[in-house]
C-alpha cells in the first residue's frame, strides 16, 4: 500500500511538499482532508480502466474540522472513530 501511494504521488515530493498518509479501518465515506480544505469523494481513490463518473464535494471549514477530529489518531475514545492501520510520510527527504 505504501509503495502504491509513493509511486502515484511522487510529483508531490518534486514540489517539495510533505504528505502524511493515514490508512484507516473500513468505513463508508471517503475524504481528502488537508490544512487547505476538505473534499468528500463518494467512491474514494479507487481506479478503473473505464471512464466512470463520480461526484466530489468541497467540505466547508466546520465539516472539515469535525471530520478531521473524528480521524485524529491521538483521539482517546477508540469506539468513536475508525482505527488507523498504517501511517507514513511521502516527502523528498
pLDDT tens-digit profile of 68-85?
887 776 776 655 666 777
Query: What pLDDT score was predicted for residue 78?
Result: 57
Percent helix, strand, coil in the chain (nearest 5)? Answer: 25, 30, 45
Query: What pLDDT score was predicted for residue 60?
Result: 93
Of residues 26 and 67, more confidence is placed in: 67
Of residues 40 and 53, more confidence is placed in: 40
Name the one residue in this structure whose C-alpha cell is 505504501.
Answer: 2
Q: Taking the model in full, what pTM does it have?
A: 0.54
Domain ranges of the chain: 2-90
pLDDT tens-digit profile of 54-67?
888 999 999 998 88
Alpha-carbon gap, residue 85 to 14, rounded angstroms: 27
pLDDT at 39 over 70: yes
Amino acid at each position: 500500500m505504501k509503495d502504491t501511494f509513493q509511486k502515484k504521488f511522487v510529483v508531490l515530493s518534486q514540489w517539495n511538499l510533505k504528505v502524511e498518509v493515514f490508512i484507516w479501518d473500513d468505513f463508508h465515506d471517503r475524504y481528502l482532508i488537508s490544512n487547505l480544505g476538505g473534499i468528500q469523494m463518494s467512491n474514494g481513490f479507487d481506479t478503473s480502466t473505464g471512464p466512470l463518473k463520480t461526484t466530489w464535494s468541497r467540505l466547508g471549514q466546520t465539516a472539515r474540522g469535525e471530520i478531521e477530529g473524528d480521524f485524529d489518531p491521538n483521539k482517546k475514545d477508540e469506539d468513536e472513530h475508525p482505527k488507523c492501520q498504517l501511517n507514513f510520510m511521502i516527502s523528498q527527504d
